[in-house]
Amino acid sequence: RNDFQPVRFSPVSEELFDEGGALTDAWADVDLDGDPDRFVGFNGTPSRLYRNDGIDGFVDIASEVGLMTKRSVRTSAWGDFDSDGDPDLLLGYSGEEPVIALWKNNGATFTEVSEMVGLRIVSGTTRQAAWVDVDADGDLDLFLAMRDGPNHLFIQTAGKFKNEAHNLGLDDTRRTVGGLWFDDGDGWLDVIVTNMNGDANGLYLGSEAGFTESQEEEIHGGGRAIGDESQGSVRPCSVDYDADGDFDLFFANYGPNGLLERTPEGWLNRANEVGVANPSRYDTCAWADFDHDGSVDLFVNGTVGGEVHYRDWLMRREGDINFMDVTPLEILERNASHGATWVDYDLDGDLDLALAGSAIDGTHALLENLLRPEFAWHSLQVRVLDEKGHSTRPASEVRLFVSGTDRLLGTRRVDSGSGYDAQSDLPVHFGVPGGQKVDVEITVPGGGRRSVTRIDGVDPRMYQGRSLEVRTDHR
């Protein structure tokens, strides 16, 4: 373990990332050069697409490629909807129609194609877009959580989308701001929707017939009160916080946060017990092993309301599943809210932290993790692809084992809804204490099936500066 690692972060390109009013932050390798690029959406300021040029830094190319919108961008989601090998971008707006825009990646430019593929929406405000292969037919479908109307689920067939939310039982009319897709072990994708203004959350369990809402009370509150207009759940996160191999749920709330552990008796809230409840007002949760000690740590950022800036927390897991506040000044001094993404932007092995601040005096800071180099390379990033080498596997599960044993080192999920109303197309990241060899197990759920792919004897040292790419078959 690296228990005595100092927690140090340093701002990157402060002048470039100093604009406030940022609402959403999402990353993907837009130009397919091997490093992640960054999209940032603002509340009326032109959006930015930062191309990552490695040691030469970042360059805003939004205008050059046709992505510079002045609309208030409330959600951004990267996904290869057309299965051509590069990430496309779904944006959700507030205000006048159209409510969403789908930007197809052509390589050097982006083209808006939403009407062409059947995705035009004339009213409402979406707070979460998520690409996921709901019907397990090999292409990405689109879920939209709506703040002011029924949620949408657009199923893609032969390149065209049709809203099937009502027919499948997912047209929830509560005030939804977050959505996360996962599988509870039966091979059918489920979705948790988080709701505001005191509305109960909803967990919809998938089956061949569609979706049925779970009636578990712990899910409805997610750790906070129901019926209190001042409380709500903003962001759900899927995390195996106790490293037992199954996924638990964390809720970033207005009110106390919730950490719901999945047990044979149902969902149990452990937030107070392990020290992560911290009643306040939060917009985002983001889990990662930022110090490479083998256990996952938690970042939650407070919202900004009027003159009040609610504080952020970086909570490091210590010992027997307790979390300690290790928030450095570099984070406390930022007016962060809304967006938060863990990303290895510089490919040095450890995860850095990208933030988006919605306040006028906020920033969309990028903070470099200054983990010592001898520990930074004790890691492995795994990119899950389909059998054609395309990124169509959101919600898939990745488990790491000590090579040749059944000793579990960690469990991750491919992004199926993250940040504040965002979805990135990034590899999953593991800290690997000692840099030991590992076995990698990938599970692709969907259509009532769970397909498993294994790669044994992986040496993390062979993947410094790049990801282990694994093609998976779910036909």
- Which pLDDT score is estimated for 176? 94
Tell me which residue has tokens 């959505």. 179
Measuring CA to CA, how many Å separate 229 from each of 187, 195, 281, 338, 344?
A: 36, 11, 13, 20, 38
Cβ neighbours of residue 435 closer than 8 Å, sequence gap 6 or more: 377, 378, 460, 461
In this structure, which amino acid lies at residue 244? D
Task: Report the chain (475 residues): mean pLDDT per 10 consecutive residues.
Answer: 76 95 96 98 95 98 94 96 98 90 97 96 90 98 95 97 98 95 97 97 97 95 97 97 95 98 93 96 96 96 84 91 94 82 98 92 93 94 98 98 98 93 97 97 98 98 98 91
- Which pLDDT score is estimated for 336? 67
Encode pLDDT of 392-431 as tens digits.
Answer: 999 999 999 999 999 999 999 999 998 888 999 999 999 9
In this structure, which amino acid lies at residue 264? P
Question: Please, are residues 92 and 39 in contact by the beta-carbon 8 Å criterion?
Answer: no
Length of the chain: 475
Q: With DSSP H G I counted as helix, E B as strand and the rest as coil, what are the percentages for the chain, rounded to 5?
A: 10, 45, 45
- Which pLDDT score is estimated for 165? 97
Q: Is the entire prediction scored with pTM above 0.75? A: yes
Comparing CA positions, the residue from 91, 136, 26, 12 lying closest to residue 426 is 26
Comparing CA positions, the residue from 91, 50, 110 lying closest to residue 364 is 50
- Which pLDDT score is estimated for 409? 97
- Which pLDDT score is estimated for 337? 75
- Which pLDDT score is estimated for 44? 87
Dmax over CA atoms of the chain, in Å, equals: 57
- Which pLDDT score is estimated for 4? 61
Q: Which domains does the chain have, with CATH numbers?
A: 20-374 (2.130.10.10)
Encode pLDDT of 371-381 as tens digits.
Answer: 998 899 999 99
Q: Rounded to an integer, what distance in angstroms lies between the CA atom of residue 310 and that of residue 282?
A: 8
